[in-house]
Amino acid sequence: MLLRFADFTLRPLLPEDAESLAREGNNHNVWRNLRDRFPHPLTVSDTRAYITNALGQSPTTTFAIDVDGQAVGVIGLTLCEGERRHSAELSYWLGEPYWGRGIITQAVQAVTEYAIKELGLSRIESYVFSWNPASARVLEKMGFEREGILRNSIIKDGVLLDRWLYAYLAGQGDS
């Protein structure tokens, strides 16, 4: 998938993205809204390993968010298996200098459409930490509905938090 928008391009990850992703992702404000599998500090070695793993995916489910030729974030799907094989979990992050520009909103819409139309999925889920209402607003704008609150379900940055479960179902919107 290669999609060009006015302010960014959504494309597959490339090995040469490691340095720019490490630079943008090595930020406490980015890390605090992601699962602990996203290391902090984030190194070029970490991003190289991540990219290598993503390049081995079939179908492609992880995409770079490219602004002016530099990967400044990632959006992707984790495909579920077994009885949940019709579903995927959507996750994303963007370098802080690019927040507030509508980039993630457009990327969420594009990847959700890809998941439903190209991958044949019927359910896309995404989790939001309760201290990140901006991410919840992005999902809500794109037609995701909050299905539940998982109370005190995570510890991040030393704080016990709720996690909000959002879902998008095929056929509920324009996708």
In this prediction, what percent of the chain has a pLDDT beyond 70? 98
Residue 173, domain member (yes or no): no
Q: How many structural domains are present in the chain?
A: 1
Residue 67, domain member (yes or no): yes
Look up the CATH number of the domain holding residue 88: 3.40.630.30
pLDDT(172) > 90: no
Instruction: For residue range 158-170, list pLDDT tens digits in order.
Output: 999 999 999 999 9
pLDDT recorded at residue 74: 98
User: Do 1 and 12 meet the contact criterion of CB atoms below 8 Å apart?
Assistant: yes
Instruction: For residue range 82-128, list pLDDT tens digits in order.
Output: 999 999 999 999 999 999 999 999 999 999 999 999 999 999 999 99
pLDDT recorded at residue 149: 98
Q: How confident is the model at residue 173 (pLDDT cuts 50, 70, 90)?
A: low
What is the rounded average pLDDT of the residues 46-61?
95
Residue 127, domain member (yes or no): no
Specify the pTM.
Answer: 0.94
Residue 145, domain member (yes or no): no
pLDDT(19) > 70: yes
Question: The domain containing residue 89 runs over which residues?
Answer: 3-121
Residue 62, domain member (yes or no): yes
pLDDT recorded at residue 175: 41
Residue 70, domain member (yes or no): yes
Residue 156, domain member (yes or no): no
